[in-house]
Structure 1
Amino acid sequence: MRFLASRVRSHLVFNHCFYRLHFRMASSSTTVKKDAFPFDKQRLEGTLLNRFFYAPAFEIYGGVAGLYDYGPPGASLQANIINEWRKHFIIEEHMLELDTTIMTPAPVFETSGHVARFMDWMVKDSQTGDVLRADHLVKNVLEARLAGDKEARGLAVQPPVDDKDKKKKVKKVKGKVGVKLEDEVVAEYENILAQLDNYTGLELGELCRKYKITNPDTDNEVSEPQPFNLMFASSIGPTGQHPGYLRPETAQGHFMNFSRLLSFNNGKLPFASAQIGRSFRNEISPRAGLLRVREFTMAEIEHYVDPEDKTHERFHEVRDVELDLLPRDVQSSGNTKVTRMTVGEAVKKGIIANETLGYFVARIYLFLTKIGINPARLRFRQHMKNEMAHYACDCWDAEIHNSTGWTECVGCADRSAYDLTVHSKKTGIPLIASQQLEEPIVIEKEVVQFNKRTLGKMFGKELPVIQNIVNDMDEVSLQKLKGELAQGVATIVSSEGREFKLTPDLLTIERQTIKQSIREYTPNVIEPSFGLGRILYCLLEHSFWSREQDVERVVLSLPPIIAPTKVLIVPLSTKRFDHLVRDVSSKLRKSGVFSSVDDSNQSIGRRYARNDALGTPYGVTLDFASLQKGTMTLRERDTTEQLIGPIDEVIAVVTELVQGTIDWAEARQRLPAYDGVQALD
């Protein structure tokens, strides 16, 4: 017993001395200086790889560009982001959640326009045949020349880094890096970069020729830009009789199920469907880690709205949210200066097309900043005319600034009625909504009557095509067709350019008075679309920093709501604490708090530092005072401040911290500061 008492006293003395030292170190860091060292992308990538946030897929076979696997912390981080996304959108907005198939029959994407239009422009190295994405080539080369100009003028310049070799590649741009440019040339380059997304393939080729843009890796000339469809082609069935594609987005699955969704929602509009799932794009030359991959997770919303009423009942809640906006007219003028304004002002001035689009832009901002994106590095850029998707009438990208520049991470588009309209025409299935009118309305309109028997005999399988052409005509076109039929023969033309000659015996057009008590219409769609991998990577960059006293002591300041591990349990290195560790772990689990235990033989400081690099926001330490007095310390990651209190009280406080119901300042009001001595009182 005397021996045991002596051992306990010696441990208490050690514990006292250690914590006096540890507390002094912590106190010196209570004012967090996250910019003490410049951002080091290689150190971040090393940390993420060593901690297995993610890694190249199939690495032992040499890997495949654009494919990555998430490790335990990365998978947990993504799952937590998805969980917050579901809370922020699906639950709070009462959305209808879907999970539709990845494999999609070819006719769906032929009808939607993806087969013809879902493409990027690529160029080939004239000697090696290496393939490059044309707009990225122009961007990288011109940015490198501008960086060289600043270097030659003696101005501070941060070298662009698209990947770990980018800096080397920039220096290979022959005769440009470190060379002073004429002021007029600098202005031209800046103008081109400001509206780069607006250039066609032909125009990108002209830029390459005019400015002698070559492959930075080889200095070889490149070919004229060629279109490259980004979808992965496949086939369905053992004989390949059904061609198909891996979906490049989840949206079409929503539209295929519109009628069922509308019925599920009791026929009421507006409503929204939401889906989280994998998508695939065969990127031309993926070189930017998680920012440009070939398989990724998307979270997409399709909000169906009356085209005659795009107001939003909750718009008043976000009206005063301030955003940095980059409208298309500013970009077209060769400028990238953002305008700070409220969403309400942007909608009122017509900068953002309507309230519903503005509402979701604001909600996107609130979500991204809630999970830890730096609002000072977030802007919303409006699509220019040539880059607008074929289905959109207005679109804004949430762009997040990172080490490669501004990256689109969320798109928010008004898809109008495009998708439902084209799928309805193709299949003959009406994808419409109806509204009971309070008072019936009487209208006069031209009504078409087809003589289907005669039409069928004359045109056979072309009958549906003729019917679609005529049914799509507006009143003016129908009146013109009616006049031509009265002259004996009329010619109509399909969208593919085929001509059909019609006579009065095939169809008649008469003006009729119609009483309507129900209004039928095709809903418009507002679509927020999130690239979760890009958001995750930008979040890691924004959260990464080094302690002021040691550049090697890296930290990921991830918000508790999305951190992979919420609490680290650190016992002194002895089995005597096993029962306390089990008890604390069990209580945290029952409170819904994910924790881990580090009972290695390293110092407590090293154990905390190792988990700071994993983004763990809080840590609790069990020592001999925990055995004697039932107390436990609580450490905050960024400041390294420590509090102390009874074990159950500390667990209650850390649970509220993780749930976001209190912050660290409030925790300091609940628990006394740990001064390294209290454990021995």
Structure 2
Amino acid sequence: MTIDNTTKTTVPFSREQLESVLKTRFFYAPAFELYGGVSGLYDYGPPGCAFQANIVDVWRKHFILEEDMLEVDCTMLTPHEVLKTSGHVDKFSDWMSKDPKTGEIFRADHIVEEVLEARLKGDQEARGLVKDANAAVQENADKKKRKKKVKQIEAIKLDDDIVKEYETVLAKIDGYSGEDLGKLMVKYNIGNPVTGDPLEPPRAFNLMFETAIGPSGQMKGYLRPETAQGQFLNFNKLLEFNNNKTPFASASIGKSFRNEISPRAGLLRVREFLMAEIEHFLDPLDKSHPRFHEVNDIVLPFLPREVQESGSTTPIVTTIGEAVSSGMVDNETLGYFIARIYLFLVSIGVDDTKLRFRQHMANEMAHYATDCWDGELLTSYGWIECVGCADRSAFDLTVHSKKTKEKMVVRQKLEKPIEVTKYEIDLTKKLFGPKFRKDAPKVEAFLLNLSQEELEKNAKLLKDNGKITFNVEGVESEVELDEKFVVIEKRTKIEHVREYVPNVIEPSFGIGRIIYAVFEHSFWSRPEDTARSVLSFPPLVAPTKVLLVPLSNNKELVPVTTEVSKILRKEKIPFKVDDSGVSIGKRYSRNDELGTPFGITIDFESAKDKSVTLRERDSTKQVRGSIEEVIKAIKEITYEGSSWEESTKNLTPFTSTQTEETV
């Protein structure tokens, strides 16, 4: 069932009202609140747990089942060596600035963004006031006072050039380095937003939580910052499980941890969160997708890097097919997953008018990535990255293979043998033992794992200088070898098997951020009473599907309530009985805040003929029919994607004499 936007109201969105509903109905709450709470940590209550579980269930069916992916559940504790190899120890950082007077810490890009946005907002308000005051001058005899007011307001306006400059900076905010952010803070006089005092220049802060594994404390580790590394390290097992066939994808759903500098905005920036990640392994020479034609015509809003670099945030709206064929999106498989991400987000309640795909800028994208797009959702906090979709090339498998000396490759039997020319290295191993003693295996392993580029470079050095020198981890002194020890030559061979390291397309979902965006996109107030809030969740993901409402506590209604409950339970439809003494309108109203899409009212007619009334949350329309007919309609709408109109066309429209507006 799609949400009928005509049932919504023009009442302005209120974040405060939404947060009040989420808190009152215990969707989530600050963790350890009795002890003052810990910033960036939250507990989910009953409706929040159910909502998250339903979204994960839809994700699993939409991706894992639909795409025949291999699901794994890997440990959250990760040894230092693994994350050192992946680059997280050295590069998994954000830029922070410290107030030397108060000791307060700020995330540099956020404070620049917030200050400039606040100044632009103030400028817009000032321009509006000038317009109003000028209009008043024309209508009011006391023109001198009005003109003076206009001049005062105009004094706080920003110059048009400054406005354009601020907008350009904000369009590029995700691409600035720490040094760039420091220069912006000086240029625009950005300091502590409360005191105005200057901040220290930005410096890198690693976001991983460090820990010790084992009682000795000697094995250094971290709480994982993502679920991806466990999937990469299990690649060979997954390939074997998949009968050595590629392409294939693995998937993982689990908690990750990041020690955020300044947690804020509820579920949007937290220190512990649920991730759902996919690693799609494919041939680097063939990044087509067999099902791309199914999504070819889906129209999406794209914000490519060229548009951002020009200082604009106006998206290019085009089909995913055109985006791939034009080269804006690098390849079919990347484009296929971008489209599938869109379909998933819309199915769980994301407003498609508040969704865009933003391409990483050149200095923002990881050095190994071929292309990367973020699925961003518009909230009252601005555009928020909720999904990343990147072509990570062969980086992860390559670095882990090189570190562990374990091949992570696909072997493809060729229909026709091919002639291959490449560099090969020969070692005179009998000389390595006497020269390097216990370090000989380390030196040999280092040489045998050199890439083609490294072999080519060393072949030239060996030819020009008669020797090569290099450093090996775990060997104290620099290693020097001449042609007696090593020979590096380019050779041509006939190969019957092609061996390659697969590339990886990685869609990565922040479930908590998506949940919060759906909260905002689904929230509205009834026009006749703005205190009556509604969360218009799609029935598929709503925490509870049905509110069962006996009209009164009369004993005559108990058997029907019991019978309907039994059938709903048998059909595995989540429901809740509300037989409290308050009016039926108030009971429906408080469950509208929980996003419950349907209500079944049991009245005294129900006791006579087993008919009940079915109420739809958004429109408050009601129809009447037998218990079986009503539950059948609920199942069709919730789980089969049917519309309200189609599934209730054989039921009788109903107008209650005891209307629900009597709250």
Question: Scaled by the length of structure 2, what TM-score is found?
Answer: 0.92
The answer to whether the 8 Å contact 1:554/1:613 transfers is yes
1:99 and 2:73 matched:
yes
Call closer, same or farther: CA 1:465–1:289 in 2, change over 3 Å: farther
In structure 1, what is the equivalent of residue 410 of structure 2?
433
The answer to whether the 8 Å contact 1:232/1:281 transfers is yes
Give the letter aligned to residue 578 of structure 1: V
1:44 and 2:18 matched:
yes
In structure 2, what is the equivalent of residue 167 of structure 1?
none
Q: Deviations over 1:448-473 (max 9, x none)?
A: 10123423443453764575467434
1:626 and 2:618 matched:
no
Call closer, same or farther: CA 1:341–1:74 in 2, change over 3 Å: same
The answer to whether the 8 Å contact 2:127/2:154 transfers is no
In structure 2, what is the equivalent of residue 151 of structure 1?
125
Q: Give RMSD over aligned pairs.
A: 2.3
Where does 1:18-417 land on structure 2 (aligned, <5 Å)? 32-154=6-128, 179-417=156-394
Give the letter aligned to residue 185 of structure 1: I
Q: Deviations over 1:128-172 (max 9, x none)?
A: 010000000000001111111111111799xxxxxxxxxxxxxxx
In structure 2, what is the equivalent of residue 592 of structure 1?
572
Call closer, same or farther: CA 1:329–1:655 in 2, change over 3 Å: same
- State the Cα distance separating 1:580 from its structure 2 match: 1.2
SS, match of residue 252 in structure 2? strand
Call closer, same or farther: CA 1:151–1:641 in 2, change over 3 Å: same
Give the letter aligned to residue 125 of structure 1: D
SS, match of residue 226 in structure 2? coil
1:524 and 2:503 matched:
yes
Alignment partners' CA distance in 2, 1:259 and 1:176: 67
- Which deviates further from its counterpart, 574-583 or 416-425? 574-583
1:461 and 2:435 matched:
no
Where does 1:491-506 land on structure 2 (aligned, <5 Å)? 491-493=468-470, 500-506=479-485
Where does 1:571-610 land on structure 2 (aligned, <5 Å)? 571-574=550-553, 575-610=555-590
- Which deviates further from its counterpart, 507-516 or 400-409? 507-516
Alignment partners' CA distance in 2, 1:358 and 1:387: 20
- Which deviates further from its counterpart, 234-243 or 575-584? 575-584
Q: Deviations over 1:410-464 (max 9, x none)?
A: 0001110000000000000001111000011123433210123423443453764
> Pick from 494, 498, 518: which aligns with 1:515?
494
- State the Cα distance separating 1:187 from its structure 2 match: 1.1
- State the Cα distance separating 1:218 from its structure 2 match: 1.9
- State the Cα distance separating 1:579 from its structure 2 match: 1.8
Give the letter aligned to residue 461 of structure 1: D
In structure 2, what is the equivalent of residue 421 of structure 1?
398
SS, match of residue 495 in structure 2? strand
Alignment partners' CA distance in 1, 2:451 and 2:268: 44
- State the Cα distance separating 1:508 from its structure 2 match: 1.4
The answer to whether the 8 Å contact 1:33/1:548 transfers is no
In structure 2, what is the equivalent of residue 671 of structure 1?
651
> Pick from 602, 611, 614: which aligns with 2:594?
614
Q: Deviations over 1:538-570 (max 9, x none)?
A: 001000000010000100000000000000000
Equivalent pairs, count: 631
Give the letter aligned to residue 632 of structure 1: V
- State the Cα distance separating 1:237 from its structure 2 match: 0.4
Alignment partners' CA distance in 1, 2:627 and 2:258: 51
Call closer, same or farther: CA 1:484–1:600 in 2, change over 3 Å: closer
The answer to whether the 8 Å contact 1:451/1:505 transfers is yes
SS, match of residue 313 in structure 1? coil
The answer to whether the 8 Å contact 1:485/1:503 transfers is yes
Alignment partners' CA distance in 1, 2:424 and 2:39: 57
Q: Deviations over 1:152-196 (max 9, x none)?
A: 111799xxxxxxxxxxxxxxxxx9999211111111111111001
SS, match of residue 670 in structure 1? coil
- State the Cα distance separating 1:479 from its structure 2 match: 5.3
The answer to whether the 8 Å contact 1:67/1:293 transfers is yes
- State the Cα distance separating 1:667 from its structure 2 match: 2.6
SS, match of residue 228 in structure 1? strand
**Percent of aligned positions that are identical:** 55
Alignment partners' CA distance in 1, 2:408 and 2:263: 38
In structure 1, what is the equivalent of residue 547 of structure 2?
568
Alignment partners' CA distance in 2, 1:306 and 1:123: 43
> Pick from 517, 528, 531: which aligns with 1:549?
528
Give the letter aligned to residue 292 of structure 1: R
Give the letter aligned to residue 49 of structure 2: A
The answer to whether the 8 Å contact 2:109/2:173 transfers is yes
Alignment partners' CA distance in 2, 1:480 and 1:642: 77
Q: Deviations over 1:623-650 (max 9, x none)?
A: 0000112110000000000000112211
SS, match of residue 190 in structure 1? helix
The answer to whether the 8 Å contact 2:247/2:281 transfers is yes
Call closer, same or farther: CA 1:642–1:152 in 2, change over 3 Å: same
1:635 and 2:635 matched:
no
Call closer, same or farther: CA 1:91–1:238 in 2, change over 3 Å: same
In structure 1, what is the equivalent of residue 148 of structure 2?
none
The answer to whether the 8 Å contact 2:126/2:153 transfers is no
Call closer, same or farther: CA 1:446–1:292 in 2, change over 3 Å: closer
Alignment partners' CA distance in 2, 1:483 and 1:622: 87
Give the letter aligned to residue 182 of structure 1: D
Alignment partners' CA distance in 2, 1:661 and 1:196: 40
Alignment partners' CA distance in 1, 2:5 and 2:36: 45
Give the letter aligned to residue 623 of structure 1: D
- State the Cα distance separating 1:515 from its structure 2 match: 1.8
In structure 2, what is the equivalent of residue 472 of structure 1?
450
Where structure 2 has 5 or more consecutive residues not aligned to the other structure, the ranges are 132-151, 659-663
Call closer, same or farther: CA 1:221–1:177 in 2, change over 3 Å: farther
The answer to whether the 8 Å contact 2:462/2:468 transfers is no
In structure 1, what is the equivalent of residue 423 of structure 2?
446
Question: Scaled by the length of structure 1, what TM-score is found?
Answer: 0.89
The answer to whether the 8 Å contact 2:275/2:510 transfers is yes
SS, match of residue 541 in structure 2? coil
The answer to whether the 8 Å contact 1:443/1:513 transfers is yes
- State the Cα distance separating 1:315 from its structure 2 match: 0.5
Call closer, same or farther: CA 1:513–1:670 in 2, change over 3 Å: same
Call closer, same or farther: CA 1:567–1:178 in 2, change over 3 Å: farther
Q: Deviations over 1:299-355 (max 9, x none)?
A: 000000000100001000001111000001111111111000100100001110100
Alignment partners' CA distance in 2, 1:156 and 1:604: 50
Give the letter aligned to residue 29 of structure 2: A
Call closer, same or farther: CA 1:571–1:32 in 2, change over 3 Å: farther
Where structure 1 has 5 or more consecutive residues not aligned to the other structure, the ranges are 1-29, 158-174
Call closer, same or farther: CA 1:155–1:357 in 2, change over 3 Å: farther
